[in-house]
Structure 1
Amino acid sequence: MRLDKYICDNTSLTRSLATKAIKSGRIKVNGIKPKSGALKILPDSDQVVFDGHLIEAQPSTRYYMMNKPQGYVCANSDGEHPLVFDLMNKEINISRLHTVGRLDKDTTGLLLITDDGQWSHQITSPNHHQAKTYRAWLAEPLIEDAELKIEAGIVLKDDIKPTLPATMQRVSDTEVLLTISEGRYHQVKRMFAALGNRVIRLHRESIGQVTLDPLLAPRNYRMLTLDEVQSLSKIQE
C-alpha cells in the first residue's frame, strides 16, 4: 500500500495534508523519514509514526449503534440543525460514514451507522423486510380495534398500497410497541394518523435482532459486536 493512502485511511489527514506532513519530516516509517508518499509499506509489519504517535490501522469497515437524541438530523450536512455525526467527532474520516436509514429529527433511539454500503443495503432494502420495533406515545387513547387494523395493513394518506401486516403491543391506551418491516416515509406517524391519532413521541428500540444497548445513554454510541453485525447480515426474504 502507498504510504500516503495508508495515512489518509487511518488519520483525518487528506492526501494533500499527508503529502505536506511527509515532506516536512513529520512522518517516519520504521524510524526513517520517507521522501515520498509513493513509498510502498506493509501495514501489518511496518510502523508509521506521525509527530511521534503511531498510526494504527483502522478496521476496513466500521459498524456503530447510537442512542440518537432529539434535535439531531441523520445527514452528513445540514445548514440549520446539528448532525448525528457531530456526536462522533473523535472518529476519523467521519465523512465516509452514513446512517443506515434515517430517524426523524424528533425521533430518538437506535440508530445504526456504518461505512459498509452493502451491509447497509441489506438492512434498508424493502425486499429484505427487516423488522424494526418502535415505542410510540400517542396524543389520544387508541381505538379498540387498532391491533386488528394494523395486523391487516393500513392505507396511508397519499399512498394507494396498504402497509404490510405489522404487530402492536398495547402498553397502555396511549403507549404502544409497534413492529413494522417496511421503511416508508414517516410510516409510524402516518399509520397512527390513519387511525385518527397522533404520535407525540417516538423511540426506536430494535432493528432485527439488535436491541438498543440499555447502558448507552442518549448522545452516546459504541461499536457493534461481531454477533450484532452478522445478525443483521442475514437477509430476511
Structure 2
Amino acid sequence: MKTSNKPIRLDRYLASVTDYSRSDAKKLIKSGDVRVDGSSVRDPGQLIPAEAGVTLMGSLLRPLGPRYLMLNKPQDVVCAARDRRHSTVLDLLDEDNPEHLHAAGRLDIDTTGLVLLSDDGNWSHAITSPQRKCWKTYYVETADPIPEHTVTQFAQGVFLKDDKARTLPAQLTILDERIARLKICEGRYHQVKRMFGAEGNAVVRLHREAIGEIHLDAELLEGEYRALSAEEIASVYHTETK
C-alpha cells in the first residue's frame, strides 16, 4: 500500500477531511478553533506532518491518508457519485467529503453484496485491472438448470454479444441445479449476466461475496459499511491467481 507522507497545508487538510470549503477552513484556523498535537495553530498555511493529531473544536479529525471501506450494497442502489432517480452507495456513507470516494469495481443496481470504496486510485486500479488477476466471487441463482458443460465453457472463455474477444477464463462451481458460485478476474459491462445469457440462461439473483482475499463481513447488514483492516488493504497487492 502506498500512502503519501508529505506534509500538507493545514487549511488544505481541513478542507479535505471535512465538508468545509478552503476559505471556511482558513477562517476556522484563524479563529483558534483548530489545534495540532494539542497546540493552537492560527496560520492556515502551516505545514503539518502526516502523523499529526488535528482537532476541530475539540473533536479529533481523521488522519491524513486515503480511505478504504467495504459496503454491503442493497438492491436498488447504484454505484455512482450521483443519480437523479436512485440512491447511490455514497448516500449510505456517514463520511466527510464522500464525493472524494469511488467504487473499486461497480455492481449493477439489482446486484447485492460487497462494494469496496476508496479515494486511492492506484489501489482501485489493482482491483479492477484484468492483468492483476484480482478474482471477484459471486453467488448466482439462475432461471434454468445449469448444465455441467457450462463449467468447461466458462473456463475456456465465452464470446459476449458485441465483444470481440472471449472472456478471460472463469471458475464456475455448481452448488445446486440453479445455484452456482462464479469467480471472474475482469469486469465487463453486466458480465456475469451476459455470460449466462450466452449459454441461454438468465440470472435471477446475483450477490458478490468477495474481491480477492477481501470477503464481505457477515456482520454487516445491507446498507452498512466499515473500514478495511490493514491486512485487507494490503491483500489487494499480492492477490494471486487461484
Q: Within 5 Å, which residues of 2 pair with 1:101-180? A: 101-180=105-184
2:130 aligned counterpart, secondary structure: coil
Match of 1:56 among 58, 61, 64: 61
2:45 matched to which residue of 1?
38
Q: Which has the larger radius of gyration?
A: 1
Taking a change above 3 Å as real, the CA distance of residues 227 and 24 of structure 1, as seen in their structure-2 partners, is closer
Cα separation, 1, equivalents of 2:138 and 2:181: 6
Shift of 1:140: 1.2
Whether 1:232 and 2:236 are equivalent positions in the alignment is: yes
Which amino acid counterpart does residue 14 of structure 2 have in structure 1? Answer: I
Whether 1:20 and 2:56 are equivalent positions in the alignment is: no
Answer with 8-17 or 224-233: which moved more. 8-17
Identity %: 44
Cα separation, 2, equivalents of 1:9 and 1:76: 17
Shift of 1:145: 1.7
2:5 matched to which residue of 1?
none
1:45-78 deviation per Cα after TM superposition (whole angstroms, max 9, x unaligned): 6x65433x23434240111111111111111111
Q: Structure 2: any 5+ residue segments left out of the alignment? A: 1-7
Cα separation, 2, equivalents of 1:115 and 1:26: 27
**Cα RMSD over matched residues?**
2.2
Contact 1:68 1:84 in 2 (8 A): yes
Cα separation, 1, equivalents of 2:102 and 2:145: 37
Cα separation, 2, equivalents of 1:41 and 1:211: 36
Shift of 1:220: 0.8
Shift of 1:155: 1.2
Which amino acid counterpart does residue 9 of structure 2 have in structure 1? Answer: R
Contact 1:43 1:57 in 2 (8 A): no
Shift of 1:204: 0.5
Cα separation, 1, equivalents of 2:212 and 2:50: 35
Cα separation, 2, equivalents of 1:81 and 1:211: 26
Taking a change above 3 Å as real, the CA distance of residues 212 and 33 of structure 1, as seen in their structure-2 partners, is closer
Displacement over 6 Å in runs of 4+: none
**Count of aligned residue pairs for this structure pair:** 233
Taking a change above 3 Å as real, the CA distance of residues 27 and 174 of structure 1, as seen in their structure-2 partners, is same
Shift of 1:33: 6.9
Taking a change above 3 Å as real, the CA distance of residues 127 and 63 of structure 1, as seen in their structure-2 partners, is same
Answer with 200-209 or 12-21: which moved more. 12-21
Shift of 1:133: 1.0
Cα separation, 2, equivalents of 1:59 and 1:48: 10
Contact 2:9 2:46 in 1 (8 A): yes
1:2 matched to which residue of 2?
9
Whether 1:82 and 2:90 are equivalent positions in the alignment is: no
1:222 matched to which residue of 2?
226
Contact 1:11 1:55 in 2 (8 A): no
2:27 aligned counterpart, secondary structure: helix
Contact 1:137 1:175 in 2 (8 A): yes
Whether 1:208 and 2:212 are equivalent positions in the alignment is: yes
